[in-house]
Amino acid sequence: MELVEAIILAILAASTPLLIAATGELVTERSGVLNLGVEGMMIVGAACGFAGAWLTGSIFIGALFGIVAGTLMSLVFALMTLGLAVNQVATGLALTILGIGLSGLIGAGFVGERITPAAHLTIPGLTDIPLIGRVLYGEDAFVYFSVALIVGVWWFLYRTRAGLILRACGDNHVSAHALGYPVLRIRTFAVMFGGACAGLAGAYLPLAYTPFFIPGMTAGRGWIALALVVFSSWRPGRLVIGAYLFGAVTILQLHAQGWGVGIPSQFMSALPYLATVIVLVLLSRARTGGSTAPAALGTVFVPDR
């Protein structure tokens, strides 16, 4: 029983950065912008988040630093792709390369330092319930926030007028523009939201997961977040399932190795990506139900003034 609880705890921790980053990217893509720079924004968020926490001693301020850093990175992206109508794919890739270099520069002075990781909730009585106590009542603030975040995004996208307008920009920016909506401004906010989430997801790593900063510590999680958005077919509900599924595969394959289950570890490491491909195939085959990409995703929009 203790082992099951430990595994669930590890899965939640491994899934949280993926969920936060993917939630942000989902909103960005729903507005019609493809930002491939998630990895770059995450790693800068990690460096700045650690710097903030180390300098002030506060995990909360560290998280804020991460959010601000990710947002600033995304503003560079917004300036290029929305302001100057540069190709989104190329800019996103460049943003990742820039982020990796920049984070090394920012973090250089903090390598080898360590901080006290984010505190876990304890409610006497509740946290001690076997099996579910620590899972439900003993997580760190990031885990609870990530759940609130995706619920909030779902509510925003499907239950508010602003969410409807944002989705309209993503599906047909010409019509949205003709109706008088400020497409580029809306997209800028969506990109900034994506950046803030990526920054926070990056900051989660040195603030709660492994409480130190090392260049390159995001190790590809930004790319997994991007795959997750596709996996979810741009729907918040499926995104939650996907994020925990990816986290579960990551953790369970490690346990399977420890138990000596005879499946090659290389194959299990590849499982999340394989799952994404399979889902894509299934989606393209299922004509009904499966929501496809926002129609205007990745296309440049220059309003005719």
Which residues bind to other proteins, rule: CB under 8 A? 2-3, 6-7, 10, 14, 17, 76, 80, 84, 94, 97-98, 101-102, 104-105, 107-108, 111-112, 114, 205, 209-212, 214-217, 219-221, 250-251, 254-255, 257-260, 262, 264-266, 269
CB of 134 to other proteins, least distance (A): 13
CB-wise, 31 or 218, nearer to other proteins?
A: 218
CB-wise, 164 or 302, nearer to other proteins?
A: 302
CB of 201 to other proteins, least distance (A): 12
CB of 218 to other proteins, least distance (A): 8
CA distance 291 to 305: 33
CA dist list (Å): 147 to 152, 236, 244, 294: 9, 11, 11, 24
CB-wise, 101 or 163, nearer to other proteins?
A: 101
CB-wise, 181 or 273, nearer to other proteins?
A: 273
Query: CA angle at residue 31 from 28 to 32, to 5 degrees?
Result: 95
Could you tell me the two tokens for 244?
């925990």
Judge contact between 223 and 99, C-beta under 8 A: no
CB-wise, 85 or 282, nearer to other proteins?
A: 85
Among 22, 35, 32, CA closest to 165: 32
Among 21, 9, 301, 2, CA closest to 170: 301
CB-wise, 111 or 178, nearer to other proteins?
A: 111
Residue 223 phi/psi, 5-degree rounding, is -70, -35
Among 192, 247, 248, 251, CA closest to 225: 247
CB of 266 to other proteins, least distance (A): 6
Count of Cβ atoms closer than 10 Å to residue 161 Cβ: 7
CB of 220 to other proteins, least distance (A): 8
CB-wise, 124 or 258, nearer to other proteins?
A: 258
Could you tell me the two tokens for 229?
């958005």
CB of 102 to other proteins, least distance (A): 6
CB-wise, 266 or 288, nearer to other proteins?
A: 266
CB of 208 to other proteins, least distance (A): 11
CA distance 145 to 16: 9
CA distance 103 to 107: 6
221-231 vs 236-259: helix crossing angle, rounded to 10: 130
CB of 221 to other proteins, least distance (A): 7
CA distance 32 to 298: 6
Residue 78 phi/psi, 5-degree rounding, is -65, -40
